[in-house]
Structure 1
Amino acid sequence: MRILDLTRELYNAALQERRDAWRKAGKSVTVYDQMRLLGEVKAARPEYQGVYAQVLQETLKRLDRAFQGFFSRVKRGEKAGYPRFRGRGWWDSFTFPQVWREGKWVGPGKPLGNGKIKIPGVGHVRIKQHRPLEGVPKTLTIKRSAGCWYAVYVCEVSFQPLPPSDKAVGIDLGLSHFVATSDGETFAPPKAYRKAEVKLARTQQALSRKKRGSNRYKKLKMRLARQHQKIANRRRDFHHKLARNLVNRYGTIVHEDLNTAGLARTRLSKSVQDAGWAQFLAILSAKAASAGRRVVAVPPHGTSQICPQCGRVQKKELSERIHACECGCVLDRDVAAAKVILALGLDGAFGGGG
């Protein structure tokens, strides 16, 4: 899309300006300095006159947020990651930051009632609206993903907590069971990537035999992107449904504070990344916050080695899937760990061995 290319070009030009100003004169260019020059940009480049002004401003703010993240990482002593120039394959969206004010539509994206929306610089565009808008629309982002275009509305909705609940549950995240609860429930992992692995391999092999840049190469590349998108959608759908299930039933949910980045570098990395624990915990926390529920994270060290009944520490190999203690406690290993996690999260005391 023309607007997408123009906003990407503006982002790269603004980044170049900031780099040159600092290297040659030791001067920092602010986002407001660059926004004041947009009039001159439109005068010199007539094609920018057809782009909504707030879209250009939001593009410059997007670059400013990238620099803010860069400086905050430098301050914390982390790997900084200086903002990069964006190629065609790394710029897939632009945003209209204001679509509603004082109870009425003031910007683009208003549904026209005939299955279309109006986008400045583009015209009336057909849209398949999968659900009605709720609350007050704030922003509209036009996004391209795997060859398809999406209109993403961000809306402000009223806070509606669920009825209070005294029930608490501990959850253990794993690979044999995606989630095992302290109540004895287990949920199988979705294995979205594993199930599609053979199909992905065939597409990748066919892609490797095509001439780079040819029409067949581009067609197969798009097919591969859509296959990956389908895998991600299936995984995300599973995470949303399971998180909603837990939030609806429990007032307090306790989980391990897992180092998912570290686990993704082990020999189990493919299965860990396929499970998507970090995404699930983020979705769970967001749903719990909107519903007035409580999510507690506890240290993960040793939770699978402790007996939930007597508190005795019993070393187990990863291949041992049953917890059997001298006190007579026999449970699925993951369920036993979930009970320990719940006790740690509620500051509960163990039995006689505690």
Structure 2
Amino acid sequence: MLLTYQYKLNPTNDQAATMALWGELLRRHWNYALGQRLDWLRRTRTSIDRCSIVSEPIGEIPEKVDYYTQSSGLKTTKELFSEYKSIYADCQQQNLMRLDKAWKKWLVPDAKGKRGGKPRFKKRGDICSFTFPRVNSAKAGAHLNSNCLKLSKIGEINLILHRPIPDGFSLKQATIICKADGWYVSFALEDAAVPEPLPVGEIKSSCGIDVGLEKFLTTSDGQSIEIQTHYRSCQATLTRAHRQLARKEKGSNNYKKQALLVALHHLHVARQRKEFHYAVSHWLARTYDLIGFENLSIKGLARTRLAKSITDAAWGSFLQILQAVAVKCGKHTVGIDPRGTSIECSSCGERVEKDLSDRVHSCSCGLIIDRDWNSGINILNRALRTVGLPFSGCGGQGDTQPLKQQVSFVNLRSPRQTAKSG
């Protein structure tokens, strides 16, 4: 099993300047290596018997450029540009590996026929991380000893070890990251033991979740989580900060200070959202053995007039976190086809057409419940059918028809948080 733990670093001013210089040099090398690849592509993609009407590169056709040819040229790079001698060699190789991975994702489709976007040239500040591929080994460039991280050619940096490394896990690599509020290190941890998932025959509790904008999610047993509008709550402050940034002279010290303030606001919103997603995911993993969800086309939904609200809810990020938490807890998650879950009646299966404004599901069979609750039951039934477990008309294993029409909200806040807000 692989985990990633992130810790805050406390470098000196000289160490911070050195790490920032490494990021800038790696950015320039990325752009040069990407230019090599694009030049090779332009010179070799044209057919022999025809040329482009607009323009055509001339000259000798270069040899194919890949990771190995560019990695072998690192020695020449250091001879021509002496500043690259100050960078640890493995970090430069990892930078080329990132480019090679992005290049292959763009040109070679995956098993589903999808390809990634075209690799882009990086502007100043875009590359704010570098990786040491080995930690605490004989030839490693990074060594962790208690709360001190020793990096090759940088020195010893104190870190805030707010949680210990789990027993049995080994450190595989360390990635140094620059964020708006300082420097961080992300350790990739590996353990040979993998949590055994709960056998399907021993599943005792299950639920289907329907995500939405009125409520963040509704479960098949009638419980809901309130939507958290982190971005909209901070939108007025962000608008003011962006307006002040636009009035500054670009490149001045005041401009840089205001840009940092804007970045800190965005970082705070992202952290709030991520913490909320983890809280909901852990609650679901603790409560249920099987969790069914919809495989939504979130990119398509984000092109509608509800794009800001959908992006603020970040369903895709939440579902990724939910699946990762479920694997760590040995629980099951099942993605199902979302078509018809809001229209079908969970009791009789009849299709009840409704608009987005209709929030109550009312069927001729007599079932009148919340629309999202009905969708959650349908999602659960499809998930149970996928794994081969029996289900009933209204909620799965042994559930009877619900008597109440409205959902109940779940409080995920701890008693300490409730006392603070009070």
* Same fold? TM cut 0.5: yes
Matched residues in 2 for 1:345 and 1:127: separation?
A: 44
Q: Does 1:159 align with 2:194?
A: yes
**Comparing 263-272 with 129-138, which one deviates more in the overlay?**
129-138
The one-character-per-residue Cα deviations of 1:95-143 (angstroms, maximum 9, x if unpaired) are 0111144xxx642443344x43212222122322222223111111011
Among 229, 237, 247, the alignment partner of 1:191 is 229
Matched residues in 2 for 1:328 and 1:77: separation?
A: 45
Q: Does 1:126 align with 2:158?
A: yes
2:171 is matched with: 137
AA matched with 1:258: L
The one-character-per-residue Cα deviations of 1:67-122 (angstroms, maximum 9, x if unpaired) are 11111249977676332221113111110111144xxx642443344x43212222
Cα distance, 1:265 vs structure 2: 0.6
Matched residues in 1 for 2:71 and 2:392: separation?
A: 59
1:110 is matched with: 143
2:86 is matched with: 50
Cα distance, 1:152 vs structure 2: 0.8
1:40 is matched with: 76
Partner-residue secondary structure (3-state), 1:18 = helix
Pairing of 1:1-354 with structure 2 (within 5 A): 1-22=20-41, 23=43, 24-25=60-61, 27-73=63-109, 81-101=117-137, 106-113=139-146, 115-134=147-166, 135-157=169-191, 158-161=193-196, 165-347=203-385, 348=391, 350=393
Partner-residue secondary structure (3-state), 2:207 = strand
Aligned 8 A contact 2:108 2:115 in 1: no
Partner-residue secondary structure (3-state), 1:89 = coil
Partner-residue secondary structure (3-state), 2:261 = helix
Alpha carbons of structure 1 residues 82 and 74: separation in structure 2 relative to 1, 3 Å: farther
Matched residues in 2 for 1:160 and 1:74: separation?
A: 28
Alpha carbons of structure 1 residues 155 and 266: separation in structure 2 relative to 1, 3 Å: same
Matched residues in 2 for 1:81 and 1:181: separation?
A: 36
AA matched with 1:52: Y
Matched residues in 2 for 1:329 and 1:284: separation?
A: 31
**Comparing 249-258 with 276-285, which one deviates more in the overlay?**
249-258
Partner-residue secondary structure (3-state), 2:90 = helix
Partner-residue secondary structure (3-state), 2:239 = helix
Aligned 8 A contact 1:258 1:300 in 2: yes
CA-atom RMSD in angstroms? 2.2
Cα distance, 1:328 vs structure 2: 2.4
Cα distance, 1:275 vs structure 2: 0.3
Cα distance, 1:259 vs structure 2: 0.8
The one-character-per-residue Cα deviations of 1:21-50 (angstroms, maximum 9, x if unpaired) are 442515311211121222222233222222
Matched residues in 1 for 2:383 and 2:365: separation?
A: 23
**How many matched pairs?**
347
Aligned 8 A contact 1:169 1:181 in 2: yes
Partner-residue secondary structure (3-state), 1:121 = coil
**Comparing 324-333 with 66-75, which one deviates more in the overlay?**
66-75
Aligned 8 A contact 2:136 2:143 in 1: no
Gaps of 5+ in 2: 1-19, 44-59, 386-390, 395-422
Over the matched positions of the two proteins, sequence identity in percent amounts to 35
Matched residues in 2 for 1:329 and 1:290: separation?
A: 38
Cα distance, 1:160 vs structure 2: 3.1
Alpha carbons of structure 1 residues 75 and 18: separation in structure 2 relative to 1, 3 Å: farther
